[in-house]
A and B are shown apart, each in its own frame.
Chain A
Amino acid sequence: MSAPLTSLDRPNSYIGRSVPRPNAKRLLAGRGRYVSDLRLPRMLHAAFLRSPHAHAKIVSIDTEQARALEGVHLVAIGADLAKVCTPWTGTLDHFKGMTSAPQLPLPLDRVVWAGQAVVAVVAESRAIAEDALELIEIDYEDLPVVVDIDGAREAGGPLVNPGSANNTCFRSQLDSGTVDDAFAHAAHVVEEEFSFGRHTAVTLEPRAIVADYDPSAGMLTVHHATQTPYQFQDLYSRHYGIPEARVRVIATDIGGSFGMKLHVYHEDMAVVGLSILLGHPVKYVADRIESFVSDIHARDHRVHARMALDAKGEILAMDVLDLTAIGAFSTYPRTSVVEGNQVIRLIGAPYRFKNYRATLEVIFQNKVQTSQYRAVGHPIACAVTERLVDMAAAKVGLDPFAMRAKNVIADDAYPQTSPTGYRFEALSHQACLKRLHEMMDYDRLRAEQADLRKRGVYRGIGIATFVEITNPGPAFYGVGGARISSQDGAILSLTPSGEVRCLISVTEQGQGTEAIISQIVADQLGLAQEHVKVITGDTEVTPHGGATWACRGAGIGGETALQATRALKRNILEIAALILQEQPSALDIVDGEVVDAGTRNQRMPISEIARIAYFRSDTLPPGTQAQLTVSHHFAPQGYPFAFTNGIQGCSLEVDVETGFIKVLKHFIVEDCGRVINPMLVDEQLRGGIVQGLGAALFEECRYSETGQLVNGSLADYLVPMPMEMPDIVIGHVETPTADTELGAKGVGEAGTAAASACVLNAVNDALAPFDVTINSIPITPAKILKALKRF
């Protein structure tokens, strides 16, 4: 017997269907076109001499021998580039009182972190450029180094920026309700100080850029491995004084980005300047060691938090202090404050309580800058909240599931506003909790845990509820004065052969943007997916838009494509109606054929409409101008963000002799609204979880007391590899947003958001018989053994 027909059984119904990505075949054949692969005629190569000191005055730079080396075209120091590039400052207006020193591609007289690029060499090959670096001599005078958070906050201590009063970049406070009162009347209070290590994106393809300034055309073309080509078009135009229309940024295949490839990097700005100075294409690809010392890092927070509860275990209040150390500058143009801001605003987000107070202090130090990386702030907010909830559950004597069931905002209680001011349209914590409980076979896991414990095997079960920010509106950056778009645009054409070409501003880094956009277009127009060609990542051809960051590809990009397609369909049907002498409303399109809307009887293929419109417009009624190309933009309105939610669970084993942790299985139930391609959603979740597990267990940028990164290679910095990673079980709940027709929200960061919180809870659960706790991430074997007093 066959299953009942669903909406997916209609022809060309692609929304909700797991179809493979059309562009992936190219990548599988080794035919990717990454920026690091690119070679242009007359192209030269840049390399950078980097500071060995975390903080020093540049006394002198001798470049004479380097310039004399055969094959070297240019040796540039800070002053050379400062002549052509205006400085930038990583602040946003809506973060009141925020400061950061102006930055230039290369420093003029002072270096502020170990690894900062100081001199650029451009030569005929990378090898020659690197030879030349060895011939450069720089005289430095050491300055006091600010390394850790406490040292940075000491009054009268050394300053990262000598002109300033202290090392504070930004301070803010949220205060709602009557927090002191709630704590005074609480039956239980739990309290902990957490620390989160610095880690970094470690995309497999490092940062790569080829800048090509053509002086004869006054035109700058930049092939840039970035998520946000329009943002860089604007920045290169403004900082180098080239009209925007003469700056083209092309972002083809990108070997991973995760937020790391949307910030302004000094070397990238320098490469543009070097190309302008030379009139040649200039290529720069960071090597792995350079990536570790110059890519943004993330996290690096110390959070003190406490939670007040009543006797039955209901959360009454939270009180939080988040200290975050961001490096020597705030990144441009998105700033390094956004992460801390999201931490204090997301803490407690799944729960129903009113009294909240949080202080955020963002602090400079002599390290490379931190900034937005996948799930900005989420893992920290989630770990702090969920660990306190587990501690509270233990105190009250409730099971972790029961504790959450008691406190999460009820699924029927929306819309809701969080005590931190976030407005939630509709979330599904209760449904997700229930699903996870079943999926984990929780009671069996607990029984097994108790059994094994008797035999000296220490397993832990951890769960963590989360809320994820997706689809940011203009309030995110726009109101702060940053020229970062929250809208997206699409240009859709019916080709003369009856296919569709879609130029869209959201970009592809492997998450499947092109696939889901073609699914939406094919679905909405009534066409086979293989007849839709999606083009992304070229500011010269695709319309301006925000592109892909903060999980906006499906929710905003997808809605843009949907609305554009409906407009094109209207136009096609209008022409069809003229030809067929019908009302447009009496017609529809199915499988590339215009049909009678009621009977589905075929009338004519859309290729025939295209042929007539393009080649035989003389046969159309007088006055008809066929509009078979439409351009459409969409900016989110309504809720400022489309919040999503979910819950993760983790089962792991701690070897109390060695401190090693083996993750046995990981679970997630996620609600990202309308799912466009379940397979791609699942793969986003899995990839995100593995990044979160990396942070939880292995990844940390470790610095010496003098500010040297001591593990800047892939042999020393541990990343999750296939052997250590578990299989991941996925469940879905779908609560579409009513703000768009499509109903999709984002999903790219959900996996990362709660993975480390889950592991933290599971490890503490495993260690419960020893009466010790872990409160810092990553959870290394050494930390476990230290907690167990065995090290």
Chain B
Amino acid sequence: MSGFDETLLEEADEIVRVRFVVNGRKVACEVAPRETLVDCLRNELELTGTHAGCEMGACGACLVQLDGRAVHSCLMFAVQADGAKIETIEGLTESGVLADLQAEFHRRNALQCGFCTPGMLVNAHELLSLVAQPSREEIRDALSGNYCRCTGYEAIVDAIDAVAKARSEGGGAT
């Protein structure tokens, strides 16, 4: 192994100021260039609703909305999100856009430990904004990057299916 690596330390010391609009509020953070968005949200901004399960884009626990699209916050550095509009589960909850999904997940027990749940909701929300009436097959396909160890997925599919139907009956409300 090499000796004392000065460049390593310099990189670690470097701090960048980034600004985003998170859940409707302007925030500024001082982050290291190597810090991921999920770490920044969780550690700097204390928005711990966004979870990390794999830190390599495989599990979907870290999904957030960035400029209106669901993205993996583990696959992005905080500095890359500079200037972006970010919605986390906390903001999406407060604004009420997920209320029907959350109520249906609750009613059907479409969660157990709840660790995958924020990512599942962000993904389900995105799906329903793109496809008004997905088939069960399409729902399963859309969720295929969201790992859940506890449920058997079926209740999650049921809940999303039920919300899709209710929304289109209600004229595409929320």
Taking beta carbons and an 8 Å cutoff, which residues of A are in contact with B?
20-21, 24-25, 27-32, 34, 36-37, 39, 65, 68-70, 127-128, 131, 134-135, 137, 201-206, 253-258, 287-288, 509-512, 679-680, 683, 685-691, 713-715, 719, 721-723, 725, 727-728, 751
Contact = CB atoms under 8 A, between A and B. Distances in A.
Contacts of A128: 12
Contact of A24 (B3, B89, B111): B111
Nearest to B158: A727
B112 A687 contact: yes
Contacts of A25: 102, 106
Contacts of A20: 106-107, 109
Interface string B127-146: 00000000000011101111
Contact of B156 (A39, A511, A680, A722): A722
Contacts of A204: 51, 53, 59, 61, 113, 115-116, 147-150
B112 A510 contact: yes
Contact of B114 (A70, A137, A510, A715): A510
A512 B93 CA distance: 23
Contacts of B51: 34, 36, 204-205, 255
Contacts of B157: 722
A30 B50 contact: yes
B67 interface: no
A127 B35 CA distance: 9
Counting from the closest, the 9 A-B pairs by CB-CB distance are A30-B49, A27-B114, A686-B152, A510-B112, A30-B89, A255-B115, A510-B113, A37-B48, A714-B58
Interface residues of B, number: 63
B11 to A, nearest CB: 9
A683 B113 contact: no
B58 A510 contact: no
A719 B8 contact: no
Nearest to B148: A204
Contact of A679 (B93, B109, B117, B153): B109
A622 B39 CA distance: 63
Interface string B84-96: 0000111001000
8 contacts: A37-B48, A69-B9, A203-B149, A288-B53, A288-B54, A686-B153, A722-B143, A751-B152
Given A21-B106, A715-B56, 8 more contacts: A65-B4, A135-B5, A203-B113, A255-B113, A255-B114, A288-B55, A512-B112, A723-B143
B25 interface: no
B17 interface: no
Contact of A510 (B54, B61, B111, B118): B111
Contacts of A690: 151-153
Interface centre among A20, A685, A751 (most CB of B within 10 A): A20
Contact of A127 (B32, B46, B105, B112): B32
B56 A728 contact: no
Contacts of B30: none
A714 B59 CA distance: 8
Contact of A29 (B89, B144, B146, B151): B89
A292 to B, nearest CB: 10
Interface centre among B3, B88, B117 (most CB of A within 10 A): B117
Contacts of A37: 42, 48
A697 B153 CA distance: 17
A135 B4 contact: yes
B117 A28 contact: yes
Contacts of A28: 93, 102, 105-106, 111, 114, 117, 121
A690 B150 CA distance: 9
B106 A24 contact: yes
B108 to A, nearest CB: 8
A238 B111 CA distance: 37
Given A137-B1, A204-B147, A721-B147, A714 B109 contact: no
A511 B109 CA distance: 10
A725 B152 CA distance: 8
A714 B93 CA distance: 29
Main secondary structure of the interface of B (DSSP, over half): loop
A270 B115 CA distance: 26
B155 interface: yes
Interface of B: 1, 3-5, 8-9, 12, 32, 34-35, 42-43, 46-56, 58-59, 61, 88-90, 93, 102, 105-109, 111-118, 121, 139-141, 143-157
A202 B145 CA distance: 15
Contacts of B46: 39
A281 to B, nearest CB: 15
B152 to A, nearest CB: 3
Nearest to A130: B12
Given A509-B113, A722-B156, A30 B150 contact: no
A713 B147 contact: no
A255 B114 CA distance: 7
Contact of A256 (B139, B145, B150, B155): B150
Contacts of B118: 30
A654 B119 CA distance: 32
Contacts of B139: 722
A459 to B, nearest CB: 19
B154 to A, nearest CB: 6
Contact of A288 (B48, B49, B56): B56
B99 to A, nearest CB: 10
Contacts of A206: 53
A69 B49 CA distance: 32
A205 B113 contact: yes
A293 B147 CA distance: 20
Contacts of B53: 204-206, 288, 714
Given A20-B106, A722-B157, A725-B153, A714 B115 contact: no
A30 to B, nearest CB: 2
A34 B9 CA distance: 31
A719 B34 contact: no
B109 A683 contact: yes
A688 B152 CA distance: 7
Contacts of A27: 111, 113-114, 117
Nearest to B89: A30
B113 A723 contact: no
Contacts of B140: 722-723, 725
Contacts of A203: 113, 115, 149
A401 B102 CA distance: 42
Nearest to A30: B49
Contact of A30 (B90, B141, B147): B90
A254 B113 CA distance: 6
A203 B52 CA distance: 12
Given A31-B49, A37-B48, A135-B5, A713 B54 contact: yes
A512 B112 CA distance: 7
Contact of B49 (A32, A512, A688, A691): A32
B94 to A, nearest CB: 9
Contact of B115 (A69, A205, A687): A205
Nearest to A33: B48
A680 B109 contact: yes
A29 B52 CA distance: 16
A201 B73 CA distance: 24
Contacts of A691: 149
A256 B113 CA distance: 6
B149 A29 contact: no
Interface centre among A131, A683, A727 (most CB of B within 10 A): A683
Contacts of B144: 721-723
Given A30-B90, A714-B59, A131 B8 contact: yes
Contact of B93 (A29, A687, A688, A713): A29
A667 B163 CA distance: 26
B111 to A, nearest CB: 6
Contacts of A201: 149
A29 B121 CA distance: 10
Nearest to B4: A65
Contacts of A135: 4-5
B12 to A, nearest CB: 6
